Structure 1
Amino acid sequence: MTSPTRPDTIRVLVTGFGPFLDISANPSWSIASSLPRTLSSTTGTPIQLIIPDTPVPAAYHKLLKESATLISQHSPHIVLHIGLAFDRDYFAVEQSALREGYHEFPDIDRKVITRVENKKLFGKGPASLATSLDLESAVDAWQTACARLWLPRKGEGAAQGKGKGGGKGKQEGKKVDVRLSDDVGTYVCGLIYYSSLAEMQKRIGTRDVVFMHIPLLKGEGEEGIGAEVTKELVVALVDVWEARS
Structure 2
Amino acid sequence: MTSATKPDIVKVLVTGFGPFLDISANPSWSIASSLPTNLSSTNGTPIQLVVPNTPVPAAYHKLLTQSSTLIAEHSPHIVLHMGLAFDRDYFAIEQSALREGYHEIPDVDRKVITRVENKKLFGKEPASLGTSLDLYTAVDAWQTACARLRLPTNGEGVMQGKIGGKGKQQRKQQGKQQGKKVDVRLSDDVGTYVCGLIYYSSLAEMQKRVGMRDVVFLHIPPLNGEEEVGVGVEVTKELVVALVDVWEARS
* TM-score scaled by length of structure 1: 0.93
Deviation string for 1:142-165 (max 9, x for gaps)? 00000000001159xxxxxxxxxx
> Quick one: which of 192, 203, 208 aligns to 2:198?
192
**Equivalent-residue separation in structure 2 for 1:198 and 1:47 (angstroms):** 24
How do 1:103-118 and structure 2 match up within 5 A?
Answer: 103-118=103-118
What SS does the aligned partner of 1:241 have? helix
What SS does the aligned partner of 2:21 have? coil
**Equivalent-residue separation in structure 2 for 1:38 and 1:99 (angstroms):** 33
Amino acid at match of 1:225: V
Percentage identity across aligned positions? Answer: 84
**Larger Rg, first or second structure (1 or 2):** 2
CA deviation after TM superposition for structure 1 residue 169, in Å:
6.5
How do 1:62-81 and structure 2 match up within 5 A?
Answer: 62-81=62-81
What SS does the aligned partner of 2:217 have? strand
Match of 1:162 in 2: none
- Please list every run of 5 or more consecutive structure 2 residues that lacks an aligned counterpart in the other structure: 156-173
CA deviation after TM superposition for structure 1 residue 66, in Å:
0.2
What SS does the aligned partner of 1:86 have? coil
Paired residue total: 233
> Following TM superposition, where does structure 1 have runs of at least 4 consecutive aligned residues deviating by more than 6 angstroms?
1-4
Match of 1:164 in 2: none
> Quick one: which of 183, 186, 191 aligns to 1:180?
186
What SS does the aligned partner of 1:179 have? strand
Matched, 1:24 2:24: yes
CA 1:53–1:73: 2 relative to 1, 3 Å: same
CA deviation after TM superposition for structure 1 residue 4, in Å:
6.5
CA 1:180–1:2: 2 relative to 1, 3 Å: closer
Match of 1:85 in 2: 85
Amino acid at match of 1:140: D
Match of 2:249 in 1: 243
**Equivalent-residue separation in structure 1 for 2:245 and 2:98 (angstroms):** 27
> Quick one: which of 174, 177, 198 aligns to 1:171?
177
**Equivalent-residue separation in structure 1 for 2:212 and 2:138 (angstroms):** 17
Matched, 1:229 2:230: no
- Please list every run of 5 or more consecutive structure 1 residues that lacks an aligned counterpart in the other structure: 156-167
Amino acid at match of 1:86: F
**Equivalent-residue separation in structure 2 for 1:208 and 1:154 (angstroms):** 39
When the two chains are superposed, the root-mean-square deviation of aligned CA atoms in Å is 1.5
Deviation string for 1:200-239 (max 9, x for gaps)? 0000000000000010000001000000000000000000
